[in-house]
Amino acid sequence: MPDRRRVVLIGLDCGTPELLFDRFADDMPTLTSLRAKAAWGPMTSVVPPITMPAWSCMMSGQTPGDLGVYGFRDRARHDYGPLAFASSRSIRVPRIWDTLTQAGRPSVALGVPGTYPPTPINGCMVGCFMSPSTDSDYTHPTGLRDDIERLTGGYILDVEDFRSNDHARVLQRVFDMTEQRFAVAGSLMTGHDWDFFSFVDMGPDRLHHGFWKYCDPAHPRHEPGNPYEHAFRDYYRALDRHLAGFLERVPPDAAIVVVSDHGGQPMEGGFCVNEWLIEQGLLTLRTKPTGPTPITQADVDWSQTTAWAEGGYYGRLFLNVSGREPTGVVPASKYDSVLDDIVAMLAKLTKPGGVPMNNRGLRPSEVYPVVNGIAPDLIIYFDDLRWRAMATIGLGEGLFAVDNDTGPDHANHAEQGVVLVANAGLDPGPRANVSLYDMAPTLHDLLGLPSSAAHRGKVLT
């Protein structure tokens, strides 16, 4: 059709403006040249800036509160058990490929987080890194799996055990995954009909988590002269070459969007949030663990516990509310005042050496217009996400730990990702104050889809 409107979206998980637009701009001539013809800039992520649900927020234009998804794991019930992993089944609102399917228009989605299990769209979908294995039904249609396996000789869903001291293996796997992801994207682009083509490369995220301290002299644990000090530069040069080859296959009439779900930054270490709650008398154990123990396996005296937390790149604090939790002790009438007290206590925390931490305690009801599902009672950013939250107790390191409780990790997420929109009729140049929520209405506009009242953002101009 002569007025067919098409969009290609290239997702770089953890793409960071300081790296892509500044530090490695000269090492990425393809991206830098594309940026010269594009509307571009930093893009503020969601709260919290976590891969799941950020990509689904981007594709739906809705908040984590709308989705009822606040991270990779969420509470399924008001109990004290382990959190439940989120999946595509957790996303109960239409994403762009769903809207296009309803309009009879085709899409391709490759590796976009939040797409396992794949859903039956008009077109094809290859599940994200949360797919359990390549033996699973990670594609729609199911026969596409065999095509991808033949093409690749073994599709790489993710870098296995990327939090590892086996640095040479991890780094090579990151390079291999990115090369393969762009190759598969190019094959799907030319082999399938589509109006919206989207794919996400997890390579930048895995690289940042595994190698930031080796590549950034400003990292507090940088090791000068280490064998991986040029890993960032070498990777981004390779990424740019893959981007150049892919762009040669993009139809000339298609708009091009390069975007990330969040950025990255150096991570100083982990804050043992449940140990802190124990120190403050807010969490009580019947018996102390003899070694590292997840909070869900600890011998907690819930009848004497006010709050507990789950860890990750941000902290999730839950109050033990009377009438809500099985052995709740916080009266509903005291809910707000108890949270206020905890926020005030967090504000007084200092890092080793007495340096103040810039901690933020955010209430979902103050962040989101709607709060669905079971949200944390408090979302905590430790030192603007320069420290991750560690829920494990019994580490024996005090409140501040250098090593991550889930394996070596040198980077945390940052609130600013990237956006670049080219060949879309927009005046080239930098844009300010762009939100991740602006992407869905912008993509709708580029595709000629009607706007949606559910969108929380605005069209990029």
pLDDT at 410: 92
* Whether pLDDT at 191 is above 90: yes
Reported confidence tier of residue 3, pLDDT bands at 50, 70, 90: confident
Assess contact for 286 and 276: CB atoms under 8 A.
no
Residues 237-255 have pLDDT tens digits of: 999 999 999 999 999 999 9
Q: List b or e across 334-363, with b for residues whose CB sees 16 or more CB atoms inside 10 angstroms.
A: eeeebbeebbeebeebebeeeeebebbbbb
| Average pLDDT, integer, range 318-330 | 99
Q: What pairing do the DSSP bridges indicate for beta strands 73-74 and 38-44?
A: unpaired
Beta-carbon count within 10 A of 96 CB = 26
**C-alpha dihedral over 84, 56, 372, 369, to 10 degrees?**
150
Distance CA 57, CA 61 (A): 5
| Average pLDDT, integer, range 62-67 | 99
Distance CA 298, CA 316 (A): 17
Distances (CA, A) of 281 to 308, 336, 395: 11, 18, 19
| Average pLDDT, integer, range 269-277 | 97
pLDDT higher at 361 or 451: 361
Assess contact for 81 and 325: CB atoms under 8 A.
no
Q: Is 444 helix (H, G, I), strand (E, B) or coil?
A: helix
Reported confidence tier of residue 2, pLDDT bands at 50, 70, 90: very low
Q: Closest Cα to residue 8, out of 262, 249, 263?
A: 249
For the chain, the structural domain boundaries read 7-267+413-447, 269-408
Distance CA 85, CA 312 (A): 13
71 Ramachandran zone, left/alpha/beta (phi>0; psi -120 to 50): left
* Whether pLDDT at 415 is above 80: yes
* Whether pLDDT at 80 is above 80: yes
| Average pLDDT, integer, range 370-378 | 99
Q: What pairing do the DSSP bridges indicate for beta strands 434-435 and 38-44?
A: parallel
Q: Is 127 helix (H, G, I), strand (E, B) or coil?
A: coil
pLDDT at 252: 97
Q: Closest Cα to residue 59, out of 9, 130, 1?
A: 9
User: 208: exposed, middle or buried (C-beta count within 10 Å: 0-12, 13-18, 19+)?
Assistant: buried
pLDDT at 397: 82
Averaged confidence pLDDT in the chain: 97
Residues 123-175 have pLDDT tens digits of: 999 999 999 999 999 999 999 999 999 999 999 999 999 999 999 999 999 99
Assess contact for 125 and 198: CB atoms under 8 A.
no
Residues 6+ apart with CB under 8 A from 165: 408
**Token pair listed for 133:** 């294995």
Q: What percent of the chain has pLDDT over 90?
A: 97
Distances (CA, A) of 298 to 304, 318, 411: 14, 16, 28
pLDDT at 79: 97
pLDDT at 1: 43
Assess contact for 150 and 169: CB atoms under 8 A.
no
| Average pLDDT, integer, range 361-387 | 98
Reported confidence tier of residue 307, pLDDT bands at 50, 70, 90: very high
- Reduced DSSP (H G I as helix, E B as strand, rest coil) percent helix, strand, coil of the chain, to 5: 30, 20, 45
Decide if domain 7-267+413-447 falls under CATH 3.40.720.10: yes
Number of H helices, E strands in the chain: 13, 21
Helix (H) or strand (E) holding 12: strand 7-12
* Whether pLDDT at 53 is above 60: yes
pLDDT at 4: 86
